[in-house]
Amino acid sequence: MEEQQQQQQQDWVESYKKSKNGIVMDYYNKKIMAPMVRVGTYPMRILAYNYGCDIAYSEELIDLKVMKSTRVVNEKLKTIDFIAKDKTLCYRTSEKDVRNVLQLGTASSMTALEAAKVVCNDVCAIDINMGCPKFFSVQGGMGSALLSKPETIKDILTTLKRNLNGIPITCKIRLLSTDQETIDLLRIIESTGVSAIGVHCRMIPERPRDPAHWDRLENILNNASFNVPIIANGDIFEHSDIEKIKKQTKVDSIMIARGVVKNVSIFSKPSPIDLKQIIQEYTEIAYQTNNSPVNTKYVINSMLNENNITTNKEAKAMSSARDYDTITKIWGINDKFKQFCLENNIEKEDDKNINKNKNNKKTKLEESNNNQCDIKKQKIEEEEEDKNNNIINKEE
């Protein structure tokens, strides 16, 4: 039995030496989870697949961080982890992450390529963020800052296409000031040979509170044809919105962001699943895959906020939650968490802290005892040395 388990483990390790590049990425008639800062981490992608998501994008990862990360085979979790220079988790994936797309934030073809080379064997595609209008992206020339630099866009995309041995390259943009400007940009991007283009139906200055312009994307696709799949993103909150936007705009696929946060069952369920059940399922995936409790708390709070749930007892309790023991108690799955910890020989956070405090006290006591022993030893040695000196003096 033990030999069989060892062989299975070895087979798994060997399988992860292989590339994901053999997976065919089809961007037609697909339901896609959009890249979302701090939300699109591993547990959310796995939950999305469980509810009918076809392709799941990571949160935006900055090229400089990715290119300096180290690939680690995590045999315990059966995942591939990319560990940043500061020892934090940069990106995690696995065989369950079936059609994962890693989105890069970049302003340079060279750093984009170096980053892509680090992860290209463990992702199904690389996407370039050209739509984020937030300060942290734009200040570095990334995200929507690229939309005014068509030559840089062309350089980044063609460099990746030329050097990554067939791995699909995509990008996500926003609408420009006019439809014709947007059409011209789409044609430039199409000429680079990308596999798909995501279009967020808002302009750069616009924010989530502003309505998405489905009508503008409709007009663009009525007046121009493209050989590359076009993916629509913006204001898809209900399952019925999926067919509505496809019918109105004639896009090839759809991409959902806040609708996923509101209720991830949007991909497959005409009526949303009970949010408490969604949160329980998400939390189970999160603690089973050793996701940071801080990130898990953020995602759960985002789900609550997207549903305007901020004052019930669970929402209030989440504000002070710091660990999985507390989070699982809030959502009624603490028994499952305890059983998981027991089966996997994992100490709960509070037990760890108790043991840590005990160890600290023990260490301090040992240090104190050692110091006292050192003082006694030094005193004995000094007395012995004085005695020897006296003998020597007498002999002299």
Structure token digits, residue 140: 């570095």
Residue 95, CA distances (Å) to 23, 60, 281 in order: 11, 21, 19
Question: Residue 50's closest CA among 254, 277, 302?
Answer: 277
Question: Residue 286's closest CA among 39, 43, 38, 37?
Answer: 43
* Token pair 């209900």 in the structure block, residue: 238
Pairing verdict, β 196-203 and 125-129? unpaired
Q: What does R_g of the chain's alpha carbons equal in angstroms?
A: 28
Query: Chain centroid to CA 18: how far?
Result: 22
Active site residues: 132
How far the first Cα of the chain sits from its last, in Å, is: 77
Is residue 42 a contact partner of residue 74, using CB atoms and an 8 Å limit?
no
Residue 30, CA distances (Å) to 143, 221, 309 in order: 24, 18, 30
Is residue 32 a contact partner of residue 252, using CB atoms and an 8 Å limit?
no
Is residue 328 a contact partner of residue 284, using CB atoms and an 8 Å limit?
no
Residue 221, CA distances (Å) to 4, 197, 330 in order: 56, 13, 48
> Residue 175: CB partners within 8 Å, gap ≥ 6?
182, 199, 200, 201, 202, 203, 213, 216, 217
Residue 390, CA distances (Å) to 225, 378, 383 in order: 104, 18, 11
Calpha distance 59→35 (Å, rounded) = 5
Calpha distance 311→313 (Å, rounded) = 7
Residue 159, CA distances (Å) to 25, 51, 164, 196, 215 in order: 20, 35, 9, 16, 33
